[in-house]
């Protein structure tokens, strides 16, 4: 079902500005990519987060790479940035989580102010809680979850020189279950490529 008409999608995003973003010290750039391997940690008896950090340090990981991995560790994840690209002026980092059972990759968007937005975080923010269309879907599919990684569908120009990156993520009740819907979310950036917000585009 369509959650907003194409014209409505040009309106300001429902989750504005810095909401849902975070930063690291030092700020991230392309040097945050780590090209090593974490295979040695699979047989380690200690916490994989500690093993991964030690492995990264031993292989000469940059301060930016270590900062990104440390931020993931704050969320209880052992991971690192495996790839970096720039799409229409927005930096896009592919995150790798080698010890997860199922979903091993994710996506971070890094804006001009070095704020980071996790594309695979739950986009059903409080600002959407009163939308009947979303409420109806969640009532019909209470067990439906997002199954990352999100897929970049493309970009859309915004007024004033901004850009919207559109990501699609399947929703299922379990890893082996069939998709019950695909969620499309737009992430908006101004002409200077500062993050200005995100909005659900459609869920069908």
Query: Whole domain around residue 55: which residue ranges?
Result: 21-119
When divided into structural domains, the chain yields a total of: 2
Residues 167 and 192 in one domain: yes
Q: Is 21 helix (H, G, I), strand (E, B) or coil?
A: strand
**Spatial distance between the Cα atoms of 65 and 80, rounded to a whole number of angstroms:** 7
Residues 29 and 108 in one domain: yes
Residues 125 and 111 in one domain: no
Read off φ and ψ for residue 160, nearest 5 degrees: 80, 10
Residues 127 and 42 in one domain: no
pTM metric for this prediction? 0.86
> Which one of 103, 119, 135 terminates a domain?
119
Spell out the per-residue pLDDT of the chain, length 204, in tens.
333 333 333 343 344 455 679 999 999 999 999 999 999 999 877 899 999 999 999 999 999 999 999 999 999 999 999 999 999 999 999 999 999 988 899 999 999 999 999 998 877 654 565 677 788 888 999 999 888 889 999 999 999 999 999 999 999 999 889 999 999 999 999 999 999 999 888 888
């Amino acid at each position: 079902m369509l959650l907003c008409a194409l014209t409505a999608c040009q309106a300001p995003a429902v989750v504005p500005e810095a909401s849902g973003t975070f930063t690291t010290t030092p700020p991230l750039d392309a040097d945050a990519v780590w090209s090593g391997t974490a295979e040695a940690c699979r047989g380690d008896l200690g916490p994989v987060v500690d093993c991964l950090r030690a492995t990264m340090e031993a292989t000469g990981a940059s301060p930016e790479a270590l900062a990104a991995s440390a931020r993931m560790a704050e969320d209880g994840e052992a991971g690192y940035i495996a790839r970096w690209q720039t799409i229409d002026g927005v930096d896009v980092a592919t995150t790798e989580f080698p010890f997860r059972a199922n979903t091993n990759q994710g996506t971070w968007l890094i804006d001009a102010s070095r704020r980071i937005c996790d594309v695979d975080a739950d986009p059903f923010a409080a600002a959407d809680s009163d939308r009947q269309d979303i409420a109806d879907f969640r009532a019909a599919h209470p067990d439906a979850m997002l199954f990352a990684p999100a897929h970049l569908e493309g970009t859309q120009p915004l007024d004033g020189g901004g850009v919207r990156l559109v990501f699609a993520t399947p929703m299922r009740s379990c890893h082996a279950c069939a998709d019950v819907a695909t969620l499309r979310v737009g992430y908006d950036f101004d002409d200077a490529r500062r993050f200005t917000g995100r909005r659900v585009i459609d869920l069908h």
